[in-house]
Structure 1
Amino acid sequence: MAERIHLHLISDSTGETLESVARASLARFEEVEAVKHFWPLVRSTGHLDRVLEDVAEHPGLVVFTLATGEIRNRLEAGCEALGIPAVSAIDPVVAGLSIMLGKAATARPGRQHRLDEAYFARVEAINYTMAHDDGQGSENWNEADILLLGVSRTSKTPTSIYLANKGFKTANYPLVPERKPPPILFELTKPFIVGLTTTPHRLIEVRRNRLLSLAQTPETDYVDEEKIKREVAEARRLFADRGWPVIDVTRKAIEETAAAVMRLMNREEASQT
């Protein structure tokens, strides 16, 4: 039986940081079922009092990112009175930066989410990525930051969208047997091109599940083992011939694949400086 706990995530901003911290931390514990109580945009004592009522009703760990002293102090005092632990998610990092920079941090709720140039760049990246999914708009590929290549069902689209949310204009193109890629692919100068691959066995599983979800017969060339082996081999040969880096997505989550793409791109940029 999984152990069940309540986890209260309290933020004076959107709470995205807390979501990431909670997800990464919970992954370190097996057989734990967390009931998340999500409280974003907590910027008044009245709102906080309602949060504390829920904390009292469902005791559990409190994790917070609160910049305003009054609300933070009230939360910590309330949790102490209830005998419930309260942990700041970013205090150690802020303290370290304060020491390194020799200055105190400012207390501005939601500052990291202000509508600055980075925000609008992210919106532009998302719009570009959605318009250049699955080989669309190849004439504009030189505007991309990243171009993902791979056979069908190698997580190109979800990885592209994840990268777009990080601010990277990402296009992707499916490699299809007996169909040559557009000539422009071999003339590109800007985008960082990465090949995505997986094992034939895993590809068969994913494609079968895809066909079943669409109420289609799973007995087609799309899932033929020998043809899939050739398909994967041809894609790998193309990547090797062009010197494009390759990421095996067989056992990777989308976040891990995107992180690997960004690491490779940073390494490439560093080598050119």
Structure 2
Amino acid sequence: MEPYAIYLISDSIGETAELVVRSALYQFETDNYQIRKYSYVQTTEEIESIIEKAALSENAMIFYTFVKREMAAHMKMLTEQKKLFSVDIYTPILNGLSQLFQMQPLEKPGINRQLDEEYFNRVEAIEFSVKYDDGRDPRGIEKADIVLIGVSRTSKTPLSIYLANKNLKVANIPLFPESKPPKELYQIPPERIIGLVNSPAKLNEVRKERLKSLGLPPSASYAGMERILEELEYADQIMKKIGCKKIDVSNKAIEETADHILHYMDALHIKRKQL
């Protein structure tokens, strides 16, 4: 038996039609079909040429995604004339959203491809935050959109990664009495620096859990209250010297702290640097 011919026709790359159709094909235990994909179909003449080819097959089915109504209408007219079974994937969705929003769609093919830039920027931001995590390289301070500073266990790293997913380049610097902060920290505008603060009790709790996960005794000085208070006092001195904003993270989820930082940036019109 001649394989069924499944035509995917689009005014863009056609990945939406392909994703939908291939997902549906999993529901059928057969491989007796051929997918014929036509991307970037921009004229009615191209549509007519493809339909002529499809009409030569007795077992053809057409799926199409056109954002321009005239192209979708032309496709519908031709498939009906040729008595070809076809499915218009986009038009019902666009019509529904048009009624919901009370506005007309842009009808710009491939506009979703513009989202690729945002995706790659996010990937670069995540790579940046990993590279400049935990003070590994102070050169990242001058390149960062936001620099997080604070003592150990103030959520600097998870917050950095979360903000990177919002396309922010984030560097984070740990503060502890035995090490002076990098000089670059005093060479950038203080509004680009966020000091993270945690309560002594919360730090004591999370540091004990950290030691436990490492197989170390909870009595180690790292989790001791005396050491914690010493670190917090030192960090507070540094933050005051810099003049940066401080955020208490002791009772905040990562998402809440991140949202606070984003609103802060918007309020001060702090622009994100180009990656």
Q: C-alpha offsets along residues 20-44 of structure 1, whole Å, 9 cap, x if unaligned? A: xxxxxxxxxxxxxxxxxxxxx9623
Q: Give the Å deviation of 1:180.
A: 1.4
Shift of 1:182: 1.5
Q: 1:42–1:48: 8 Å Cα contact kept in structure 2?
A: no
Task: Report Cα offsets for 1:132-152 as digits up to 9, x if no partner.
Answer: 000011023211111000100
Q: Which amino acid counterpart does residue 243 of structure 1 have in structure 2?
A: G
Deviation sequence 1:186-238 (CA, Å, 0-9, x none): 11249811011111100011000001001011111111112212322332332
Q: 2:21 aligns with which of 44, 64, 68?
A: 44
What is residue 115 of structure 1 aligned with on the other side? 116
Q: What is the CA-CA distance between 1:105 and the residue it aligns to?
A: 5.9
1:160 corresponding residue in structure 2: 160
1:259 CA displacement: 1.3
**Structure 2: tracts of 5 or more residues without a match:** 1-17, 28-65, 68-86
After TM superposition, the score normalised by the length of structure 1 is 0.61
In the alignment, what sits opposite 2:176?
176
Map of 2:193 onto structure 1: 193
**Alignment: residue pair count:** 196
Superposed displacement of residue 266, structure 1: 1.3
Equivalent-residue separation in structure 2 for 1:188 and 1:241 (angstroms) = 13
Q: CA deviation at 1:45?
A: 8.3
Which deviations, in whole Å up to 9, do the C-alpha atoms of 1:33-84 show, x marking residues without a partner? xxxxxxxx9623862995xxxxxxxxxxxxxxxx99966999x9xxxxxxxx
Cα distance 1:108–1:209, how it changes in 2: closer, same or farther (>3 A)? farther
Question: % of aligned pairs identical?
Answer: 37
Give the structure 1 partner of residue 252 of structure 2: 252
Deviations 1:88-134 (A, max 9, x none): xxx89x877x44xx433659899278422x22222221121111000
Contact 2:191 2:245 in 1 (8 A): no
Runs of 4 or more, structure 1, over 3 Å off, are: 67-74, 105-110
Q: Structure 2 CA distance, aligned partners of 1:132 and 1:160?
A: 10
Distance 2:99 2:257 in 1: 31
Larger Rg: 2
Compared CA separation, residues 126 and 46, structure 1 to 2 (3 A): closer
Find the aligned partners of 2:165 and 2:109 in 1 and give their Cα distance.
Answer: 23
CA distance in 1, matches of 2:256, 2:109: 31
RMSD: 3.6
CA distance in 1, matches of 2:174, 2:162: 18
1:131 aligns with 2:131: yes
Q: Distance in 2 between matches of 1:191 and 1:121?
A: 23
Distance 1:124 1:266 in 2: 22
> Is 1:215 matched up with 2:192?
no
Partner of 2:235: 235
Preserved CA contact (<8 Å) 1:48 1:71: no
Secondary structure in 1 matching 2:203:
helix
Whether the aligned pair in 1 keeps the contact of 2:190 and 2:244 (CA below 8 Å) is no
**1:172, distance to aligned residue in structure 2 (A):** 0.2
CA offset digits 1:2-23 (Å, max 9, x no partner): xxxxxxxxxxxxxxxxxxxxxx
**Normalised by the size of structure 2, how large is the TM-score?**
0.60
Q: Which moved more, 1:129-138 or 1:228-237?
A: 228-237
SS state at 2:171 partner? strand
Which runs of structure 2 are paired with 1:54-133 in the superposition (5 Å)? 98-99=101-102, 102-104=103-105, 111=112, 114-116=115-117, 118-133=118-133
State the one-letter code of the partner of 1:44: V
The equivalent residue for 1:149 is: 149
CA distance in 1, matches of 2:172, 2:236: 16
